[in-house]
Amino acid sequence: MNNIVAIVGRPNVGKSTFFNRLIQRREAIVDSVSGVTRDRNYGKSEWNGKEFSVIDTGGYVKGSDDVFEGEIRRQVELAIDEADAIIFVVDVEEGITPMDEEVAKLLRKVTKPILLAVNKVDNAMREKDAIEFYNLGLGEYYTIAGMNGSGTGELLDKLVEVLPELPEAVEEENPLPRFCVVGRPNAGKSSFINALIGEDRFVVTDIAGTTRDAIDTKYNRFGFEFNLVDTAGIRRKAKVKEDLEFYSVMRSVRAIEHSDVCILMIDATRGFEGQDQNIFWLAEKNRKGVVILVNKWDLVEKDTMSARDYEARIRKELEPFTDVPILFVSALTKQRLLKALETAVEVFENRKQRISTSKFNETMLPIIERTPPPALKGKYVKIKYCMQLPTPTPQFVFFCNLPQYVKDPYKRFIENQLRQIYNFEGVPIDIYFRQK
């Protein structure tokens, strides 16, 4: 589990530049995930050996200037509720604006760590100008220049020092699968969970997962035993307008990081929208298993669109990671809910599977021999040996003479072959090429 850090502030103060700097520092080193990162507003960062999740609230504000104030206030309130620490970014060029004062007023009431970052301070003159930000009443401030990164180090040193300690995850002997149900507001998460629990609740225990009350409830039904990490309706809904996009992502982050398999519910009457995609990429980025449930299928006019067309449209949006189970369900009529659970358990098993090195070489090397990586600058890549790494999620390494010459299309080819032979449905996998 990671701490969550939210970056707040009014538009155009440089939140996104600062956010990109935070997540690239890590992504460049550790997290080179192939394909594009679709969700520009969430990432993982690491400083002094401490890892945390970062959310840039800026990317979620839509609308004209007069709409902004209400939106930003709501986002700050949500960040205050959900995050473990908040970085409030202001702009030295413009000085303190009425909107900064509004945000500061909200933040002054909070007991969580708040760090004030004065951005665009790239010379001594501006250092002096930054002094006026003491007037916001948030105490010490940190001067940074998001563009060239100066000052970020001191700010991050302080951040990791003030982040609260999270409870240690207890390793269990045979851990139960952890499923979380995620999706936009009103997709039917609560109805799905209620339908699963039914009236005869076989609830064994309620374990508070973290202080953030993503509650783990242990279920034993239909011959399945699993923990359900519930994001639906746990927290004070009144504070947040249901239509706020940011809301569903913020709520999902912790539950996703806390689970093995994400059951993503989408509303059949609305289609697979940008927000659903954001949540999907969040799960993929965290290397979690995914099952997609198209809920309210009983309300869709079947003559306009068959399940097959609908599924094809979703898969198009999921590229390049399309090996994901998609089920059409109705929480209301309880249609295919059992199948949904079965599928989630299968995905959990797929994610845990280990392939012996000898077997893996036996199947993969002949394929590579028949279709080797294309030669580059007259040099040929020879792949001699491959294995699965002993990591919690499926990762495979292929040893060769010139790993730098193996490009993304060939990695995708290898992944597709691997998926055809072994069942990794619903599970993101990583493929690396290394020098022998």
Confirm whether residue 231 is marked as ligand binding.
yes
Confirm whether residue 297 is marked as ligand binding.
yes
CB 50 within 8 A of CB 32: no
Confirm whether residue 295 is marked as ligand binding.
yes
Confirm whether residue 58 is marked as ligand binding.
yes
Query: If you search the block for the tokens 């563009």, which residue do you land on?
Result: 147
Confirm whether residue 13 is marked as ligand binding.
yes
- The H-assigned helical ranges of 272-352 are 274-285, 307-318, 337-352
Contacts with 261 (C-beta within 8 Å, 6 or more apart), sequence order: 177, 178, 179, 180, 288, 289, 290, 291, 344, 347, 348, 351, 426
Confirm whether residue 32 is marked as ligand binding.
no
Confirm whether residue 370 is marked as ligand binding.
no
Confirm whether residue 48 is marked as ligand binding.
no
Confirm whether residue 237 is marked as ligand binding.
no
Confirm whether residue 119 is marked as ligand binding.
yes
Confirm whether residue 12 is marked as ligand binding.
yes
Confirm whether residue 39 is marked as ligand binding.
no
Lateral strand order in the sheet of 395-400:
383-388, 395-400, 430-435
Quote the CA–CA distance of 12 and 119 in Å, as a whole number.
Answer: 11
Query: If you search the block for the tokens 């040193």, which residue do you land on?
Result: 157
Confirm whether residue 276 is marked as ligand binding.
no
Confirm whether residue 379 is marked as ligand binding.
no
Quote the CA–CA distance of 136 and 8 in Å, as a whole number.
Answer: 15
Q: What is the largest CA-CA distance in the chain?
A: 69
Confirm whether residue 298 is marked as ligand binding.
yes
CB 323 within 8 A of CB 182: no
Q: In Å, what is the CA distance from 25 to each residue of 28, 149, 194? A: 6, 11, 42
Quote the CA–CA distance of 429 and 249 in Å, as a whole number.
Answer: 23
Confirm whether residue 103 is marked as ligand binding.
no
CA 103, 106, 108, 114 dihedral sign is negative
Confirm whether residue 183 is marked as ligand binding.
yes
Confirm whether residue 120 is marked as ligand binding.
yes
Confirm whether residue 11 is marked as ligand binding.
yes
Confirm whether residue 234 is marked as ligand binding.
yes
Quote the CA–CA distance of 120 and 78 in Å, as a whole number.
Answer: 26
Strand partners, 24: none
CB 50 within 8 A of CB 163: yes
Confirm whether residue 57 is marked as ligand binding.
yes
Confirm whether residue 384 is marked as ligand binding.
no
302: tokens are 């079947």
Confirm whether residue 190 is marked as ligand binding.
yes
DSSP summary character for residue 174: S
Confirm whether residue 230 is marked as ligand binding.
yes
Confirm whether residue 206 is marked as ligand binding.
no
Q: Is 280 helix (H, G, I), strand (E, B) or coil?
A: helix
Q: To the nearest 10°, report the CA torsion of 138, 139, 144, 150.
A: -150
Confirm whether residue 121 is marked as ligand binding.
yes
385: tokens are 């040996």
Confirm whether residue 188 is marked as ligand binding.
yes
For the annotated binding site for GTP, the residues are: 9-16, 56-60, 119-122, 183-190, 230-234, 295-298
For the annotated binding site, the residues are: 9-16, 56-60, 119-122, 183-190, 230-234, 295-298
